[in-house]
Amino acid sequence: MFMKRFKYNFKEQTNAAPLAIFRLFFGLMMFASILRFWAKGWIEKLYLVPKFHFSYFGFSWVKPIGDYTYLLFIICGVSAIFVAIGYKYRVAIITFFLSFLYIELMDKTTYLNHYYFISIVSFLLIFLPANAYFSLDAFVQKKQYKLVPKWTIDSIKLMLVIIYLTAGFVKLNSDWLFRAMPLKIWLPSKYDLPFIGENLMQQNWFHFAMSWSGMLYDLAIPFLLLYKRTRFVAFLFVVFFHVFTRLLFPIGMFPYIMIVSALIFFDATLHNKIINFIKKHIIKSKTILLLEPNFHFSKLKSKVVLSLFAVFFAIQMLLPWRSLLYPGELFWTEEGYRFSWRVMLMEKAGSTNFKIVNLNSGASFRVNNTDFLTSFQEKQMSYQPDFILEYAHFLGDHFTKQGYNNVGVFATSYVALNGRLSTRFINEKVDLYQQKVSFTHKKWILPFQSQIKIKGI
Amino acid sequence: MFRKFLVLFVSIITFLACSSSEEITPTIIDGFDRNALLENIADNIIIPAYEDFSGKMNALKTAGDTFSTAPNQSNLEALRVSWFAAYKTWQHIEMFDIGKAEELQFKFYMNIYPVTVSDIEDNITNGSYDLNSVNNQDAQGFPALDYLLHGLADSDAAILEKFTIAEDNDNYKNYLIAILNQMNTLTTSVVSDFKAQRNAFVISTENTATSSVNKLINDYIFYYEKGLRANKFGIPAGVFSENALPEKVEGQYKNDVSKELALDALTAVQNLFEGRHYNAATTGVSFKDYLVKLNRTDIATSTSDQFDIAGSQVEKLDNSFAAQIDTDNTAMTMAYDELQKAVVLLKVDMLQAFNVSIDYVDADGD
């Protein structure tokens, strides 16, 4: 009985409409995101103005490509449109995935969990028959499929479930639950919100209520969405939660993407109604396409994709917990912090300055960070150890190239975390230029010294 | 089902559209009264300091006119005294890079040092120049006056010669007057504009990149870090270069005033933090109070303490920073280090506690 319940039928077919609608909205959202990014002048500000870019380990070869960076965004935006309408779908989604990934890898200063979300979802979409139904590809081939393998749609649901659950589990820590941090810092600063800014946002109980309900929301919402009878209410929660966070925080398009993604949990009746609505009012097409009942992967293809997905989801489930392999306080060292759905868990800021020392004579001078970094980069660099190390190497190389000898690079760094007073962050006596960039524990980060420890996951 | 969604969708869009175009600015009456903060800063700090400076600037200009009509030793000395008095008061207003001051780049026309001597001499020789040009920012203001009054020659007699018997003495006098007129015009414009805008200034309390309260905080920290810590201490002490650069101290030609000017600036910074009224012992609503209100007495106390520590470290220095750098630069860098510790408290701890939207970072978060 137990086994039976958990036995998954990979042969089961289901209506293709939810996948088609997901594809359509995802593509449109991505196009809007790219347009918005461009319109805000961020391409220039984040990728063209900086003289130096922070790279992900092993991806230092991915850099902005001058004015061609705009072309890259055009390619990414156009391919998003192609994905939306489902035209040359496979090529379009691969192009979108690669161009978006390239953009994200250019500079890790701009890392956001929701960009990571977009990258992995577009990766999944490469392998899904999202153009089988209600797509331009189907129109051109005059043939569309009513049913697709159920696991294709379920794989997107699984991804969302993993994200929500992980985001919920990582909120089980003392800062979030018992100090209401960082919401206690962020919410009162929204004093200028109409109606609620001056009262609700300032209340201690409200900070705690928000922390706890955020945690409960993340842990419960996947189940409420999966269960048919609670689904509509759950969706209302999703909308409320994301719209509310959108009003409070500068999180761009992410809330809308999450709201639209949650539609995948509904059954096909809804999606078919949306499709009929679009057909009737927007496309106004009366063409009737030949409707094939079933879309099937070939046996081999299905085997390959399923094994790939097995590996992929295993990684997705394990990767957020890699931080357990490192000693020390995760929020302090941030070793294994990225790619783990730790969303809005920290208010962290720092001040980090570098001293270039001639190791023979002891002569030294300090670096003015603004000579090399934009204020945004400096802000990010100041409290993230991997940024500090990469920048120290850049400075070492730069001044060596300038003709200085026996260059040593030392950092004076203070960091404040979740409302604690700032304390020293980096061991000032360690020559960072001699430290290798790697995934091993960074011994030159001073231990987290605050009396107020962080307990939990 | 679909109808429900349509209704939901439309109401979200309406909600978002309404909330983002919210025009009403509610009066802010929460635990911390930012309005009162801005009123205290405007009425008891900025305006009195502006008025004092304006008066001293007038006196300086009059002394310049007197000197120009009768360039003699006693008028030169009187002019120098006026110059120093105005320069000291300037230290209390340079940090207010807001409104007209920001628009006109007030501080860049008043206090860029060191000056470029060749630019000044070329201007004087040519007899024609555009002081509004950005290229001439380093050839005017207090530092240029410093050069003209103390640095033209080795002795007072030789300096006076430039304004009396030198072939182009008229050009020297004209340049002196031109600089003073420029400084006075800018000051009048900045001061009268701030007074006119005072009401708009004190009600702009929202947490946006362009509100008075946020701009004031950002400018304040920027001034402390750049205008005070780096320009007055770090750069001349060689913190950012291989060798010390004593010629980059403030008031280098008068030479023995750099400490007094720096101490005035530090006092002004601490007074703003603690809400102390200009030239008085009374205090009003301040950043410090705001921190206390946010339960961050730790930051409030540490910052005040750190200003005191830095101040006493500066007190130990020679009246002339240039002389201090030449004899014992370590003392100078020690003062710099203490000043730097306050940068961390202001820029990391205080900014984090206030969580102000800052002007230069507007990318998305997650």
- B305–A contact, CB cutoff 8 A: no
User: Could you tell me what percent of chain A has a pLDDT over 90?
Assistant: 89
Residues of A in contact with B34 (CB under 8 A): 191
| Residue B207 pLDDT | 87
Asked if pLDDT for residue A2 goes beyond 70, the answer is: no
Asked if pLDDT for residue A268 goes beyond 80, the answer is: yes
Rounded to a whole number of angstroms, the distance from the CA of B30 to the nearest CA of chain A is 5
| Residue A281 pLDDT | 87
Q: Domain limits of chain B?
A: 31-199, 206-358+362-366
Using pLDDT thresholds of 50, 70 and 90, give the confidence band for residue B32: confident
Rounded (10°) angle between helices B156-163 and B169-203: 90
| Residue B356 pLDDT | 83
Task: Name the residue in chain B with its Cα closest to that of A371.
Answer: B240
End-to-end CA distance of chain B: give it in Å, rounded.
32
* Beta-sheet strand order (sheet of A348-358): A364-366, A348-358, A407-417, A423-424
pLDDT tens string A24-53? 999 999 999 999 999 999 999 999 999 999
- B352–A contact, CB cutoff 8 A: yes
* Residue range A323-327: mean pLDDT, rounded: 96
Q: Do A198 and B30 touch (CB under 8 A)?
A: yes
* Residue range A85-114: mean pLDDT, rounded: 97
Using pLDDT thresholds of 50, 70 and 90, give the confidence band for residue B25: very low
Using pLDDT thresholds of 50, 70 and 90, give the confidence band for residue B24: very low
Tokens describing residue B107: 């501080």
Using pLDDT thresholds of 50, 70 and 90, give the confidence band for residue B19: very low
Residues of A in contact with B2 (CB under 8 A): 270, 273-274, 277
A88: left (phi over 0), alpha (psi -120 to 50) or beta: left
Mean pLDDT of all residues in chain B?
A: 91
Using pLDDT thresholds of 50, 70 and 90, give the confidence band for residue A7: confident
* Residue range A408-429: mean pLDDT, rounded: 97
Mean pLDDT of all residues in chain A?
A: 94
Tokens describing residue B134: 């950005």
Using pLDDT thresholds of 50, 70 and 90, give the confidence band for residue A285: confident
What's the pTM value of the predicted model, to 2 decimals? 0.91
Q: Identify the CA nearest to A384 among candidates A110, A59, A180.
A: A110
Using pLDDT thresholds of 50, 70 and 90, give the confidence band for residue A334: very high
Q: Is A95 helix (H, G, I), strand (E, B) or coil?
A: helix
DSSP letter for B150, please.
I
Please work out, in degrees rounded to the nearest 5, the angle formed at the alpha carbon of residue B319 by the alpha carbons of B314 and B324.
Answer: 75
Q: What is the largest CA-CA distance in chain B?
A: 96
Residue A92 burial by Cβ neighbours in a 10 Å radius (0-12, 13-18, 19+): buried
- Is the bond preceding A149 in cis, omega lying within 30 degrees of 0? no
* Residue range B330-351: mean pLDDT, rounded: 96
pLDDT tens string A176-186? 999 999 999 99
Question: What is the distance between the alpha carbons of residues B35 and B49, in angstroms, rounded to a whole number?
Answer: 20
Which ipTM value was assigned to this complex? Answer: 0.89
User: Which of A104, A186, A191 best probes binding to B when mutated, by most B CB atoms within 10 angstroms?
Assistant: A191
Using pLDDT thresholds of 50, 70 and 90, give the confidence band for residue A195: confident
**CATH number, domain B206-358+362-366:** 1.20.1420.20
Quick count: other Cβ atoms within 10 Å of Cβ B247?
A: 11
- B209–A contact, CB cutoff 8 A: no
* Residue range A318-340: mean pLDDT, rounded: 96
Domains B31-199 and B206-358+362-366 share a fold: yes
Q: Which CATH superfamily is domain B31-199 in?
A: M75 peptidase, HXXE motif (1.20.1420.20)
| Residue B217 pLDDT | 94
- B245–A contact, CB cutoff 8 A: no
Question: What is the distance between the alpha carbons of residues A418 and A211, in angstroms, rounded to a whole number?
Answer: 14
Q: Which residues of A366-379 are buried (b: 16+ CB within 10 A; e: fewer)?
A: bbbbeebbbebbbb
Using pLDDT thresholds of 50, 70 and 90, give the confidence band for residue A289: confident
Question: What is the distance between the alpha carbons of residues B262 and B111, in angstroms, rounded to a whole number?
Answer: 13
- A422–B contact, CB cutoff 8 A: yes
- A343–B contact, CB cutoff 8 A: yes
pLDDT tens string B262-289? 999 999 999 999 999 999 999 999 999 9
